[in-house]
């Protein structure tokens, strides 16, 4: 598994405010141009090139950082909570148009299909309770009237139980793995989903679902 404290998939370019991949950055950039993508860290990072020529972001070995990056990336907060925090942050930024919306990745028989969720005027709610069925959802994307649009369950050792699946049957929902989210919150590998068009699984014909 990737070491998230030393192999950082994204950085924020502080001049443009954009989230970038290592291959979009320069390894001659001035210190301070790139910040760690992790909202709890935000320390400066730089582009490093591995022996086989792959670019990645790294933290500076600097003990004067505002926040100790090892702490920010550590397991002190539990994996499930960290994944929900990251998801919430990435969807919020997407909805506020500060960065692209996270993509949903469906592994279909025809290969991986990437879906861009298009969710105008939506709001992100953590630990959202749907009163009608008395269920709490890890992360809900709701409309202005609190109607669920897309529900996200984060699996860390506990997949969605069957009884909850049944309760959620009228909603669009996906399940993602906490570790996948922590590795890359902008490319969400969908492990389970319900109410998405059946044809989608087989053909992957649609690019935009909502």
Interface with Zn ion (CB under 5 A): 36, 38, 41, 69
Give whichever of 36 and 83 is closer to Zn ion, judged by the CB atom: 36
Q: Indicate the helix (H) or strand (E) that contains 192.
A: strand 187-194
Give whichever of 57 and 106 is closer to Zn ion, judged by the CB atom: 57
The number of angstroms, rounded, from the C-alpha of 20 to the middle of its chain's C-alpha atoms is 14
The number of angstroms, rounded, from the C-alpha of 127 to the middle of its chain's C-alpha atoms is 16
Residues across the chain: 210
Give whichever of 86 and 154 is closer to Zn ion, judged by the CB atom: 86
Least gap, CB of 148 to Zn ion (angstroms): 32
**Distances, alpha carbon 95 to alpha carbons 91, 108, 171, in Å:** 6, 27, 20
Give whichever of 117 and 185 is closer to Zn ion, judged by the CB atom: 185
Least gap, CB of 30 to Zn ion (angstroms): 18
Least gap, CB of 78 to Zn ion (angstroms): 18
Structural tokens at position 66: 């505002």
Quote the CA–CA distance of 4 and 47 in Å, as a whole number. Answer: 15
Least gap, CB of 58 to Zn ion (angstroms): 10
């Amino acid at each position: 598994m990737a070491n998230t404290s030393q192999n950082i998939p994204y950085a924020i370019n502080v001049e443009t405010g954009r989230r970038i991949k290592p291959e979009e950055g320069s390894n001659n950039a001035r210190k301070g141009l790139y910040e760690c993508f992790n909202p709890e860290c935000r320390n400066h990072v730089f582009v490093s090139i591995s022996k086989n020529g792959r670019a990645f972001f790294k933290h500076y070995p600097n003990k004067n950082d505002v926040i100790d990056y090892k702490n920010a990336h550590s397991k002190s907060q539990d994996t499930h909570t960290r994944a929900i925090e990251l998801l919430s942050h990435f969807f919020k930024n997407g909805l506020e148009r500060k960065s692209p919306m996270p993509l949903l990745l469906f592994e279909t028989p025809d290969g991986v299909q990437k879906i861009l969720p298009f969710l105008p005027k939506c709001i992100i709610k953590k630990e959202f309770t749907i009163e009608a069925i008395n269920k709490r959802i890890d992360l809900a994307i709701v409309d202005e009237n609190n109607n669920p649009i897309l529900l996200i369950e984060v699996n860390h050792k506990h997949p969605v139980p069957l009884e909850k699946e049944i309760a959620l049957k009228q909603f669009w929902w996906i399940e993602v793995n906490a570790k996948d989210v922590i590795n890359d919150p902008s490319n969400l590998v969908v492990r389970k989903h319900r109410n998405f068009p059946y044809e989608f699984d087989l053909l992957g014909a649609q690019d935009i679902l909502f």
